[in-house]
Amino acid sequence: MKWIDGGVCAAEGFQANGIHVGVKSRNAEKKDVALIAAQVPCSAAAVYTKNAVKAAHILIDREHLKNGQARAVVINSGNANACAANGEANALRVCQSVAAQLGCSPEDVLIASTGVIGQELPASVIETGVPALAAGLSHTASGSDAAANAIMTTDTVKKELALETVIGGKTVHLGGIAKGSGMIHPNMGTMLCFLTTDCAISAAMLREALLETVTVSFNRISVDGDTSTNDTCCILANGMAGNACITEKNGDYTAFAEALKALSVRLARAMAADGEGAKHLITCIVSGAKSVESAETLGKSVISSTLTKAAIFGADANWGRVLCAMGYSGESFDPDGVDIAFASAAGSIPVCEKGRGLVFDEELAKRILTEPEVEIRISLSEGSAECTCWGCDITYEYIRINGDYRT
């Protein structure tokens, strides 16, 4: 695999754009609607939030994806279109508007929204901007850049990546853009993410690969313990790479799935690192577990612990917070077999051995925990399985951002 530029436009036959149409009426400089479109019909798949309260776009997309095909995705920021008047009707209006510009069926257009819950989506405002949005579609990196910026809300940096690999003797490209900074918690996609590929793969196999990928990437991050009403991760595959179509789990499928996981893990890490107000990316590595599922449960509990997050913010090597979070995870393990260490670019320091505290250099520990990325390394005595999860610290800025998010 090779990392390349281009984002969602790196794959052959995809275009993208992002512009300001007025959904974010208070900020005329901020792009707020994005469009990703393929030259040809695509195999498509998506996964969504497990929150019982779901945004209107999820209900529409589930209907549109029943045939496993799509041609485009339109996304707005600034308005979640969740628990809002005329939610589904407004989402359909936007799909119809995009379809008219692309010359395809409205059922071939997917839609996603992000922003404030409970406010009616200004469909007429978006409809007015759709002709310019479609006219500005570009197959270059600038198109992906515009789309990546248009889907941001409280994000401080865009999340955009692409890679290429060889499948069936053909060069295949995968690209993605994502947004996520708050309301991030393991329970499916925990954000918005849009992936493209020119690999030829059936809708059934595409969905299998996406489900496998979400499990080891977006489902292993947490910022604040809140699972959004709008979480969506979707992928379009147009087959223009020319490889033999993947219709079963063979070597080509494995190669594709591994590339998709590599791309998604990097996007997931970027979201955790950009948590609202965050200063540190926390990587929690649990090894020696009896199963991957056990290691994941323990790791998720640690990265979701408010007290652990606060300790990392304060560069306080309070390993007791870590062991405590493991203890209330609901997963059984032997506390007397737990070793804990903190690590970063500044070094590594063991702080707990066999469930008991060690005497350690507090100054070294502080230097380690002051680095932008901090690792919490947990070793169990249960087996040989391991898992890595990602989170971030919690800061005063998180409260400021969310204290007046709506107003």
Domain 2-273 sits in CATH 3.40.190.290: no
| Domains in the chain: boundaries | 2-273, 281-403
pLDDT score at 394: 82
Q: What is the mean pLDDT of the chain?
A: 92
What's the pLDDT band for 188 if we cut at 50, 70, 90?
Answer: very low
pLDDT score at 104: 98
pLDDT score at 190: 47
pLDDT score at 343: 98
Chain centre distance of CA 128: 29
Question: Is the separation of the CB atoms in 317 and 349 below 8 Å?
Answer: yes
Q: Determine the 3-state secondary structure of 222 from DSSP.
A: coil
List the catalytic residue out of 153, 190, 229, 297.
Answer: 190
Q: Determine the 3-state secondary structure of 399 from DSSP.
A: helix
**Closest among 356, 387, 211, 231 to 294, alpha carbons compared:** 387
pLDDT score at 183: 47
Tokens of 378: 């947990």
Instruction: Give start and end residues of each alpha helix (H) in 274-317.
Output: 292-304, 306-313
**Closest among 124, 148, 142 to 31, alpha carbons compared:** 148
Environment class of 318 (CB within 10 Å of its CB; exposed 0-12, middle 13-18, buried 19+)? middle
> Where is average pLDDT lowest: 40-44, 261-265, 275-279?
275-279
pLDDT score at 155: 82
Distance in angstroms between the alpha carbons of the first and the last residue of the chain: 45
What's the pLDDT band for 401 if we cut at 50, 70, 90?
Answer: low
**Closest among 267, 259, 258 to 174, alpha carbons compared:** 259
What's the pLDDT band for 76 if we cut at 50, 70, 90?
Answer: very high
- Residue 105: is its pLDDT beyond 90? yes
Q: What is the mean pLDDT of residues 222-229?
A: 63
Q: What is the mean pLDDT of residues 370-399?
A: 91
One of 3.30.930.10, 3.30.230.10, 3.10.20.340, 3.40.190.10 is the CATH number of 281-403, namely 3.10.20.340
pLDDT score at 147: 98
What's the pLDDT band for 403 if we cut at 50, 70, 90?
Answer: confident
Q: Which residues contact 201 (CB under 8 A, 6 or more apart)?
A: 43, 209, 237, 239, 245, 246, 247, 253, 256
List pLDDT tens digits, range 306-340. 999 999 999 999 999 999 999 999 999 999 999 99
Strand stretches in 227-312, DSSP E = 232-237, 281-289
Report percent pLDDT > 90 for the chain.
Answer: 80
Q: What is the mean pLDDT of residues 19-48?
A: 92
Catalytic residue check, 370 = no
Strand stretches in 92-155, DSSP E = 109-116
Tokens of 82: 């969740």
pLDDT score at 335: 97
From residue 258, give the alpha-carbon distance in Å to each of 2, 163, 345, 388: 13, 12, 27, 16
What's the pLDDT band for 207 if we cut at 50, 70, 90?
Answer: very high
What's the pLDDT band for 227 if we cut at 50, 70, 90?
Answer: low
Chain centre distance of CA 65: 20
List pLDDT tens digits, range 149-158. 999 987 888 9
Q: What is the mean pLDDT of residues 111-129?
A: 94
Report percent pLDDT > 70 for the chain.
Answer: 94
